[in-house]
């Protein structure tokens, strides 16, 4: 099975044309005509990820975040981006990144967050009706819950060592807006849609003032909000490939075992 056959399946879920203009998605390293042995699916591609791919005999890494983002002017191994790139090339490992193409998919990053929380009746938080894509999700619980119970649920479901939130608004939580990754830009959208709470990450100090006692703003952490994306991709590929994998002598799709969160908590 060639890389192009795999990426065609991925682009049914998240077409590259749906990515944001600033992004760098698609096949970053490798050739679309290369034959695939095994696949490693990861959130980030670091040196430890390349080592894991080598140990599992994977010659294709499917990564959510692109390791090459702003472009490279040289390859001297002076930083982690250069070292990862060099090591991948030396070991004939291809790297494909999805990032905002998957962010904007109806069944992408934010949809997986809804699934983890058991939210139903989801719709785009910020829709783009011209392309049938959008950012974030608006959904709801079947049964409303107390704020403290809601915050504890988030902490447990997303394995968060700590979450930051605005002042409690003393109302039950039912309608929830959420957006994987950095989502402070969508706070006003969540408020306009009368969400009881908005879950995202990378909120700055002054962002929390925007709650204005109308909404509960919750920052669960960037990694925490996106961590299940690799599970989504493994499940998707297994379902798509299983019917004809044996005939094509295709082996395994591995879920990366590495926690690539760069943030540590005391």
- Is the model more confident about 130 or about 95? 95
The model's confidence at residue 247, banded by pLDDT at 50, 70 and 90, is very low
Start-end of CATH 3.40.1390.30 domains in the chain: 3-101+227-255, 104-220
Query: What architecture is domain 104-220?
Result: 3-Layer(aba) Sandwich (3.40)
Res. 34: pLDDT tops 80:
yes
The chain-wide mean pLDDT, for the chain, equals 95
Give the Cα separation of 72 and 184 in Å (integer).
29
Give the Cα separation of 122 and 195 in Å (integer).
12
The model's confidence at residue 132, banded by pLDDT at 50, 70 and 90, is confident
pLDDT, tens digit, 9 for 90 and up, residues 153-210? 999 999 999 999 999 999 999 999 999 999 999 999 999 999 999 999 999 999 999 9
pLDDT, tens digit, 9 for 90 and up, residues 206-243? 999 999 999 999 999 999 999 999 999 999 999 988 75
Res. 246: pLDDT tops 60:
no
The model's confidence at residue 114, banded by pLDDT at 50, 70 and 90, is very high
Phi-psi group of 212: left, alpha or beta (phi > 0 → left; psi -120 to 50 → alpha; rest → beta) = left
Task: List the single range of 1-5, 39-43, 96-100, 176-180 with lowest mean pLDDT.
Answer: 1-5
CB 75 within 8 A of CB 86: yes
CA 68 to chain centroid, in Å, comes to: 17
Give the global pTM. Answer: 0.94
CA nearest neighbour of 153 among 172, 170, 169: 172
| Mean pLDDT on 5-25 | 96
| Mean pLDDT on 24-28 | 97
Query: What architecture is domain 3-101+227-255?
Result: 3-Layer(aba) Sandwich (3.40)
Instruction: Convert the chain into a string of H (helix), E (strand) and C (coil).
Output: CEHHHHHHHHHHHCCHHHCCCCCCCEEEECCCCCECCEEEEECCCCHHHHHHHHHCCEEEEEECCCCCCCCCCCCCCCCHHHHHHHHHHHCCCEEEECCHHHHCCCCCHHHHHHHHHCCEEEEEEEEECCCCEEEEEEEEEEEEECHHHHHHHHHHHCCCCCCEECCCCCCCEEEEEEEEEECHHHHHHHHHCCCCEEEEECCCHHHHHHHCCCCEEEECCHHHHHCCHHHHHHHHHHHHHCCCCCCCCCCCEEECCCCCCCCCCC
């Amino acid at each position: 099975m060639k890389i192009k056959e795999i990426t065609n399946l991925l682009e049914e879920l998240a077409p590259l044309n749906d990515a944001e203009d600033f992004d760098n998605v698609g096949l970053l390293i490798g050739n679309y005509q290369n034959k695939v042995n095994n696949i490693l699916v990861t959130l980030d591609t670091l040196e430890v990820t390349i080592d894991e791919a080598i140990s599992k005999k994977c010659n294709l890494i499917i990564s959510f975040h692109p390791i090459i983002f702003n472009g490279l002017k040289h390859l001297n191994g002076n930083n982690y981006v250069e070292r990862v790139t060099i090591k991948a090339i030396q070991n004939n490992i291809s790297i494909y990144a999805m990032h905002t193409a998957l962010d904007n998919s109806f069944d992408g990053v934010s949809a997986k967050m809804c699934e983890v929380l058991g939210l139903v009746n989801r719709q785009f938080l910020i829709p783009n009706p011209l392309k049938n894509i959008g950012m974030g999700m608006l959904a709801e619980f079947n049964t409303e819950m107390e704020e403290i119970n809601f915050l504890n649920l988030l902490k447990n479901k997303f394995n968060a060592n700590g979450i930051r939130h605005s002042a409690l608004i003393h109302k039950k939580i039912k309608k929830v807006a959420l957006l994987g990754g950095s989502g402070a830009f969508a706070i006003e959208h969540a408020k306009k849609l009368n969400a009881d709470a908005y879950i995202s990450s990378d909120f700055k100090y002054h962002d929390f003032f925007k709650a204005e006692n109308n909404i509960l703003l919750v920052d669960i952490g960037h990694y925490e909000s996106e961590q299940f994306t690799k599970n989504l991709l493994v499940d998707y590929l297994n379902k798509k490939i299983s019917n004809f994998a044996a005939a094509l002598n295709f082996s395994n799709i591995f879920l990366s075992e590495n926690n690539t969160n760069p943030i540590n908590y005391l």
